[in-house]
């Protein structure tokens, strides 16, 4: 079994092990108004310890969780606020678990890179599920890439939001993508490269 397959199997087992009903009850307790606009992730407090862990509110600082509108980190605050509101959806839950695992599990370098890339893939699935438009996604992606890269040492993740044409040196077609089309309809993961040299370590998944 490949390292990536092992990691995906572990993540699937982690998803199955969490009590989804309990998580839903905790979120309802701290977010009774589901119709309201997403609030900052900081609003999920100690009354929901599982939600707090999944949303990283015990790890992220006020520069992100309390970022005012118009500030550089505000798109991340919007992302975590939306994730808080959508945490019990399949896409939201998977994204949150991937994020939490990346920052909390004692992973080796190779496994950590795989987790980071899978987290970026889960981000794009989450955006699609929540109808987060391309403009908002493009504002969030570089900030999320920087956050995830903080765990990768000499490597960095880079979004390929501006790419319009498939380039096999930096892109890989995502599962289900057209094998022959050249036009990129949307990214499906981040690119990984070596800091300083820019050498590509892992190509970005894209949908053609």
For 114, phi and psi rounded to 5 degrees? -60, -45
pLDDT at residue number 71: 92
What residue segments make up the domains of the chain, in order of their start? 3-153
CA angle 148, 19, 129 (to 5 degrees): 50
29-66 confidence digits (pLDDT tens):
544 444 444 444 444 433 467 777 777 877 777 788 88
Q: Are strands 204-207 and 171-173 parallel, antiparallel or unpaired?
A: parallel
98-112 confidence digits (pLDDT tens):
998 888 889 899 999
Q: Pick from 142, 159, 162: which is nearest to 204 by CA?
A: 159
Tokens of 185: 């309809």
Q: How far is it, in rounded angstroms, from Cα 200 to Cα 48?
A: 40
pLDDT band at 21 (very low <50, low <70, confident <90, very high): low
Tokens of 133: 């438009």
Residues of the chain with pLDDT > 90, as a percent, come to: 54
- Stated pTM of the model: 0.76
């Amino acid at each position: 079994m490949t390292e990536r397959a092992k990691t995906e199997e572990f993540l699937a087992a982690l998803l199955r092990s969490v009590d989804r009903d309990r998580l839903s009850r905790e979120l309802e307790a701290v977010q009774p108004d589901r119709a309201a606009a997403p609030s900052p992730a900081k609003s999920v407090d100690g009354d929901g310890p599982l939600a707090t862990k999944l949303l990283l509110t015990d790890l992220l600082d006020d520069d992100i969780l309390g970022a005012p509108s118009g500030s550089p980190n505000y798109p991340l605050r919007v992302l975590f606020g939306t994730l808080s509101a959508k945490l019990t959806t399949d896409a939201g839950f998977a994204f949150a678990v991937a994020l939490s695992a990346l920052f909390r599990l004692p992973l080796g370098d190779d496994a950590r890179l795989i987790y980071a890339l899978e987290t970026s893939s889960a981000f794009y699935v989450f955006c699609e599920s929540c109808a987060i438009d391309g403009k908002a996604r493009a504002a969030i992606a570089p900030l999320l890439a920087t956050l995830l890269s903080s765990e990768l040492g000499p490597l960095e993740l880079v979004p390929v939001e501006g790419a319009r044409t498939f380039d096999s040196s930096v892109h890989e077609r995502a599962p289900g993508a057209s094998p022959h089309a050249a036009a990129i309809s949307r990214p499906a993961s981040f690119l990984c490269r070596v800091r300083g040299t820019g050498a590509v370590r892992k190509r970005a998944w894209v949908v053609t």
